Amino acid sequence: MDRLACILMSMALLAAAAVSCGKDAGPEGGIGGSGDGIRFPSGTEYSVGDDVFILCSGIAPDAAVALISASGTRTSVEDPVITSSGIFFTLEVLPGSYTVVIEQSGESFELGRIDVSAAPIDVTVTEVPDFCIPGEKFTVTGLDFGESAVLTLAAPDGTRTALETEAAPASLTATVPADAPRGKMTLLIVQDEGEMTASETFFITTQKWLTGIDMTLGQTGSGVEKVLGFSRGQDGSLIGSSPLDLSVQAGEQTAYVFTASEEDEANGYGTFTLKMSGGRVWSSTFEVERTDTESGGTVTRTEEFEWEYDGNGFLSYYVAGMTYELVADGRNLDCPDIDGSSMFEYGDGTLVNNPFGTDCTLALLAAASSDHILATALALGTGTRSACLPTGVWSGGDTALPVNYVYDDEGYVIRASYGENSVFPVTVEFTYE
């Protein structure tokens, strides 16, 4: 018995079983009705190349069958088998979610949605870069890559871009076109009609420089706002101002010297220095001015605090009137409360910032801090970054407050906020050029 005969017999048996179970498969329950008579006996999850059976009635022999992707792209099904019991066809589409549509007599009818995955391939991936700049090359290393292997970019809307790939058994090297779509992509390895995901957080991006951070604690207009603006000199220096004047020379041993604003002087700070090396703050020195309650005179003292880092490279603690403990939670940053409970919740391993973007976890801590020294240092970064963006912040209550992010077209976070409906919402805005 040939394959088509087997298919038709299977459809007949399934149709009979549906009728014997008292399930209406007539026109009213089929494509023109409520949909109760439409059934996918084998489920709705398939792989590329699988056969799809759909039990339904009322389909014209000359009806067209199409698959509509999540982005709205229409793919015609070639040579579908249509009987009085339903339809049969073979999936020859890219992986994704599709709506099965019947088109007849000038009308379209949706039969339901199916999910199509790629056939798996037997390869091992050992290293994938985080990003590639348009016009440049990148390499994925691993084992058992075939000659037909092609590195492919999948955009969030499902659009795919196959890259010109040099394939070797242990490496795949591809060139990203200068006009390639930018932002966070899924990087796929397509080989022998199958595929696998090499990375869900691969960025096609240019390098931008941070030029400003605007941090607000509380409602807009009545909250505490800290604004830091930066510009870059030809000599590699970083110049910033408002509310803290800042001059930094790039180098192996760097000192950030701040002049406090009037608001800071009211809090007792004069000037302070953050000593940097290797991209990290190692110590802070500042003068504290206080009015002696007995004599009425001004008392000045100099304080220096060392910043310590744990084995994962995260800032372990810093003391300046208050104690802030930053610890590594896996590859992410946390700032536990005094009882050991977490401040940040990480619920999505694919939620990341552009590799050139600011560490938003540190920036959220900076915005919530009333200590300008710590806030400024955290906003600039302390070396090792959190691998992911936090999905929530614990700020009392039974559930974490969700963190909302706004991105530019290259995947840079330009706004992070949480607690919009609370008494003390936190908002951080980033400017890049």
- Cis omega before residue 181 (within 30°)? no
Res 379 pLDDT > 70: no
CA distances from 283 to 228, 264, 373 (A): 21, 20, 11
Give the span between the Cα atoms of 351 and 399, in whole angstroms: 19
How high is the pLDDT of residue 233? 56
pLDDT tens-digit series, residues 121-179 = 999 999 999 999 999 999 999 999 999 999 999 999 888 899 999 999 999 999 999 99
- 77 compared with 26, residue with greater pLDDT: 77
Confidence of residue 209 (pLDDT cuts 50, 70, 90): confident
The CA distances from residue 154 to 113, 185, 357, in Å, are 21, 6, 22
Average pLDDT over residues 407-422: 94
What is the Cα–Cα distance from 14 to 408, expressed in whole angstroms? Answer: 51
On average, the pLDDT of the chain sits at: 77
The partner residues of 108 in beta bridges, in order of sequence, read 103
Q: Determine the average pLDDT of the residues in 29-35.
A: 40
How confident is residue 303, by pLDDT bands cut at 50, 70 and 90? low
Tell me what pLDDT residue 250 has: 38
Evaluate if pTM is beyond 0.85.
Answer: no
* Structure-block tokens of residue 352: 């990341």
Domains of the chain: 3-117 (2.60.40.3920), 124-204 (2.60.40.10), 210-432 (2.40.160.150)
**Nearest C-alpha neighbor of 389 from the set 350, 342, 341, 338:** 350
pLDDT band at 230, cuts 50/70/90? low
Mean pLDDT of 281-295: 66
Q: Is the pLDDT of residue 26 over 60?
A: no
